[in-house]
Amino acid sequence: MNRKTFFTIAAVLLAGAAFLITKSYAADFPKGSPQFATNYAAALKAGQDTGKPVVLIFSAVWCPPCQANKHNVYPSDAVKPFHDKFVWAYLDADDQSNAPAMQKYGVTGIPHIQFLDKAGKPLGSVVGGTMPEEFAKTLGATLKKAGA
């Protein structure tokens, strides 16, 4: 096999793997995760309808800190007490339909976690990876800010 053929086959295999990873992304939340919406507008409406603050998580499948948060932080025992106190949305940073929300909240790096009150008013944000206990403290402080 010549070098050009090898690289062509490798490129096709990598593209196929990326497609499969992207397609399974929305459905592969770990057991014990909060109930995630995957639509920005639906999350805002749910916040208004339920009176709960909103957690918008801008993430991507190729982002190691995003995946670490997804698998180790959101379903953790430290964060579980907050699952029902918020509306949670997991928004793919590579999905162009999320670009307006990313621009609105100044998302320049991921993971970017934006906290909103029930009316959609920003309460703060966290950028980068985090630990379960640290994130739980942030959620508690956010609830106080939201008056919940």
Q: Are 66 and 120 in contact (CB under 8 A)?
A: no
Known catalytic membership, residue 66 = yes
Which one of 44, 55, 57, 63 is the catalytic residue? Answer: 63
Closest CA to 94 of 102, 82, 86, 83: 102
Tokens of 81: 């007490």
Q: Please state, in angstroms and rounded to a whole number, the distance separating the CA atoms of residues 46 and 54.
A: 8
Which one of 46, 66, 87, 126 is the catalytic residue? Answer: 66
Q: Please state, in angstroms and rounded to a whole number, the distance separating the CA atoms of residues 146 and 126.
A: 16
Q: Please state, in angstroms and rounded to a whole number, the distance separating the CA atoms of residues 94 and 62.
A: 10
Query: For residues 41, 102, 29 and 55, what is the CA-based torsion angle, rounded to 10 degrees?
Result: -70
Known catalytic membership, residue 63 = yes
- SS3 state at 12: helix
Catalytic residues, by residue number, are: 63, 66
